[in-house]
Amino acid sequence: MATEKPKKKKSEKRQRQKYAITRLTDAEKVELQTRAANQGLSESDYLRRKALGSQPLKATKRIKPEREALLSVAGQLARYGNNLNQLARKANRQQNLSPADIEDLREAIALVNELREEVRKALGYDT
């Protein structure tokens, strides 16, 4: 009775086991990153496509640099708003700030939230 080879999982079939290493200047590396990002590919997939004409193994969804920057700003604004809100709560509990200072904090929180919503709109999120 012949023994059957164990069937490989799809992920095992797709694994690449060999390396092709090349050295790049700083300028070449930036150019490679830019070109790959503009086509929504990883650097490896971009090089394979250009050198071998092969398609990526799986669809990659790369974030455009502008969108990535907006996402970063939105995250920072959320953190700033959270910190301001914590300061306002602490000030309210301890009563160390004047009512005018507390109002300034509330206005700063509102401004951060407003900016965050503008960034979210620019990213295409429903608010």
What is the CA angle 118-122-127, rounded to 5? 60
pLDDT in tens, 8-37: 565 655 677 888 888 988 888 888 888 887
pLDDT in tens, 25-73: 888 888 888 888 777 788 888 898 888 888 766 655 666 767 777 777 7
Tell me phi and psi for residue 103, to 5 degrees.
-65, -40
**Contact assessment for residue 112 and residue 80, using Cβ atoms and an 8 Å cutoff:** yes
**Contact assessment for residue 84 and residue 105, using Cβ atoms and an 8 Å cutoff:** yes
Q: How far apart are the first and last CA of the chain?
A: 66
For residue 1, give the amino acid letter: M
Tell me phi and psi for residue 23, to 5 degrees.
-100, 140
pLDDT in tens, 93-126: 776 777 777 787 788 888 888 887 877 777 777 6
Tokens of 32: 């490679």
| pLDDT reported for residue 117 | 80
